[in-house]
C-alpha cells in the first residue's frame, strides 16, 4: 500500500500511528508529499481530488481518504485488538472523540494557514481567534474526560495525541498545557509509546 | 433527540435527509441555530466545543458530532435497509464517497466564508481558487462514478445530494452542471425524493 503523508500533518500522523500500533507499518510505503491549499499537486490530485493528505492507495489500486476512513480501513487489516470499537455505545463515544480531535486539528491547521500561508496584509485576527476558541473548547472537554481512558489507546487516543502534538509543533505559544493538568499528564505518558515517538513532527 | 441545525448547512442536511429516509424524523427536534466562524454561540458550544452544526443530543443526554458520526448513529435507530454498509468493500467505497462529498462541502463553505463573512479588504483570490479546485476535482470524480449507483440511496448518495444542493444554493454562478451530464441527471432524479425536497436550503 502507498500512504501519501507529510511529516507535519496531524491527520497523516493518525494513520501512521495506527499502522505502527497495529504492526502493519511494513506493508505501507509512506510517500512524503508537499501540499498547500493554494497550489496544485497533480500527482496527489489524481488519487484524491480534494488534494489533501493522508490518502491511501491499496494494493488493489483503490484510494481511500480522509483520515477516519483510512484508519478504519487499516483497522481491518490486522488481528490485534481493534482501534475502532464494534457498533454500540463505546464505538460512538470513540467516534465522537475522533471527531472532536479532528475538529481541533482542522481549526489549528486553518489558523496555521492564516498565519503562515496567507499574505500578511490579508490576515484576519477574528478568524484566528474563532479557530483558537474551537481548539480551547476541545481542550476543556478533553481535560474533563481524559480521566476515563485509563490505558486505552484506540482511535480516540490516537486522535488526541496527534492534536496535542500538532499544538506543540505549530502553536507552542498558545500554551495548551496551562489549565489542563490531566491532559498534560496523559500526553506525557502516551508520548513514550514507540508509535508516537517515531512519528513526531520534524522540528517539534 | 435534539438536532442543532441550520437550514443553509449542507452537513446538517445530511442528518436531516437520513432521518427522513429512515422514518425517524418524528423522534428528532430540529433546533435552528445560527453559527459563524468568528462569533461565539454559548448554547451550541456547551454541546459541541467546535461550535459547529450539526450536533445531536440523544435522549440520554449524550452529544454526537460531526455529521458522519451523527448519521452513523441515526442509522442504528431504525429497522429499514441501512445507509452505512456493513464492514467490507461496499462500506469503504461508501465512506470514501462520504469523505469526498464532505470535503467538497468543506471547500465550498470555506469559499463562502471568504466571500461573504471575511471583510472585503482581507479576501484572497488564490484561496477561493484553491477551494474551488477541490470542488471541481470532486465533481469530476463523481461524474465518472455516478453511473455505478443505480437506484441506491445510502450515505454516499445523501452526501452527494447535499454537496450539489449547496453548490446550487451558494455558488449557482460556478455552473457545476457544465461538463457533468450524468451527475446532473442523477441529481435531477434524487431531487424528487421527499426527503431531499423537504430539506432544500431556504432561498435555493
pLDDT at B66: 98
Which of A61, A76, A96 would best serve as a mutation to test chain B binding (most B beta carbons within 10 A)? A96
pLDDT at A139: 98
pLDDT at B7 over 60: yes
CB atoms within 10 A of CB B182: 14
ipTM of the complex in this document: 0.97
For residue B152, report the phi and psi dihedrals to the nearest 5 degrees. Answer: -60, 145
pLDDT at A6: 97
Minimal C-alpha gap between B138 and chain A (Å): 5
Q: What is the pTM of this model?
A: 0.98
Question: Rounded to whole angstroms, how far apart are CA atoms B102 and A49?
Answer: 12
Residue B203: pLDDT band with limits 50, 70, 90:
confident
Which of B1, B11, B15, B37 would best serve as a mutation to test chain A binding (most A beta carbons within 10 A)? B37
Rounded to 10°, the helix B181-190/B125-145 angle is 80
Chain B environment of A44 (Cβ under 8 Å): none
Nearest to B122 among A51, A122, A129 (CB): A122
Can you read off the three cell numbers belonging to residue B81? Answer: 435497509
> Tens of pLDDT along B23-76?
999 999 999 999 999 999 999 999 999 999 999 999 999 999 999 999 999 999
Contact B202, B28 (CB under 8 A): no
> Tens of pLDDT along B99-130?
999 999 999 999 999 999 999 999 999 999 99
pLDDT at B204 over 70: no
Sign of CA dihedral A105, B32, B45, A172: positive
pLDDT at A161: 98
Chain B environment of A131 (Cβ under 8 Å): 37
Strand, helix or coil at A175?
Answer: coil
Computed over its alpha carbons, how large is the radius of gyration of chain B?
Answer: 17
For chain B, which domains are there?
A: 2-74 (3.40.30.10), 89-197 (1.20.1050.10)
Query: Alpha carbon A129 to chain centroid distance?
Result: 21
Question: Rounded to whole angstroms, how far apart are CA atoms A127 and A132?
Answer: 9
Report percent pLDDT > 70 for chain A: 100
For residue A57, report the phi and psi dihedrals to the nearest 5 degrees. Answer: -105, 115
CB atoms within 10 A of CB B150: 7
For residue A84, report the phi and psi dihedrals to the nearest 5 degrees. Answer: -110, 115
Nearest to A201 by CA among A98, A124, A100, A112: A112
Beta strands A29-32; A63-64: pairing state: unpaired
Contact B56, B3 (CB under 8 A): yes
pLDDT at B78 over 60: yes
Minimal C-alpha gap between A190 and chain B (Å): 24
Contact between A49 and B124 using a beta-carbon 8 Å cutoff: no
Query: In chain A, which residues have pLDDT < 70?
Result: 204
Residue B146: pLDDT band with limits 50, 70, 90:
very high
Contact B135, B170 (CB under 8 A): no
What is the DSSP secondary-structure string of chain B?
Answer: -EEEE-TT-HHHHHHHHHHHHHT-GGG-EEEE---BTTB--HHHHHH-TT--S-EEE-TTS-EE-SHHHHHHHHTTS--SS-SSPPTTHHHHHHHHHHHHHHHHHHHHHHHHIIIIIS-GGG--HHHHHHHHHHHHHHHHHHHHHGGG-TT--SHHHHHHHHHHHHHHHH-GGG-TTTT-HHHHHHHHHHTTSHHHHTT--TT-
Give the C-alpha distances (Å, rounded to integers) separating A79 from A24, A31, A74, A90: 10, 25, 11, 20
Can you read off the three cell numbers belonging to residue A34? Answer: 508537499
CB atoms within 10 A of CB A123: 16
Minimal C-alpha gap between B50 and chain A (Å): 5
Q: Which residue is closest to B128 within chain A, CA to CA?
A: A38
pLDDT at A31: 97
Which of A92, A107, A142 would best serve as a mutation to test chain B binding (most B beta carbons within 10 A)? A92
> Tens of pLDDT along B154-182?
999 999 999 999 999 999 999 999 999 99
The secondary structure of A89-102, three-state, reads: HHHHHHHHHHHHHH
pLDDT at A203: 73
> Tens of pLDDT along B27-37?
999 999 999 99
What is residue A36's DSSP assignment?
Answer: B
Amino acid at each position: 500500500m502507498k500512504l501519501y503523508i507529510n511529516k507535519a500533518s496531524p491527520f497523516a500522523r493518525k494513520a501512521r500511528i495506527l499502522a505502527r500500533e497495529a504492526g502493519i507499518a511494513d506493508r505501507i510505503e509512506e510517500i512524503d508529499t508537499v501540499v498547500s491549499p493554494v497550489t496544485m499537486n497533480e500527482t496527489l490530485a489524481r488519487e484524491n481530488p480534494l488534494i489533501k493528505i493522508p490518502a491511501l492507495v491499496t494494493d488493489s489500486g483503490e484510494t481511500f481518504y480522509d483520515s477516519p476512513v483510512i484508519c478504519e480501513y487499516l483497522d481491518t487489516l490486522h488481528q490485534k485488538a481493534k482501534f475502532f470499537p464494534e457498533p454500540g455505545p463505546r464505538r460512538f463515544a470513540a467516534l465522537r472523540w475522533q471527531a472532536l480531535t479532528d475538529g481541533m486539528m482542522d481549526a489549528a491547521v486553518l489558523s496555521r494557514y492564516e498565519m503562515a500561508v496567507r499574505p500578511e496584509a490579508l490576515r484576519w485576527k477574528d478568524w484566528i481567534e474563532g479557530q483558537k476558541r474551537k481548539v480551547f473548547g476541545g481542550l476543556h472537554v478533553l481535560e474533563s474526560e481524559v480521566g476515563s481512558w485509563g490505558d486505552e489507546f484506540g482511535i480516540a487516543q490516537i486522535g488526541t495525541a496527534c492534536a496535542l502534538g500538532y499544538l506543540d509543533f505549530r502553536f507552542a505559544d498558545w500554551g495548551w498545557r496551562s489549565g489542563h493538568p490531566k491532559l498534560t499528564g496523559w500526553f506525557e505518558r502516551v508520548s513514550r509509546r514507540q508509535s508516537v515517538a517515531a512519528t513526531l513532527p520534524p522540528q517539534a
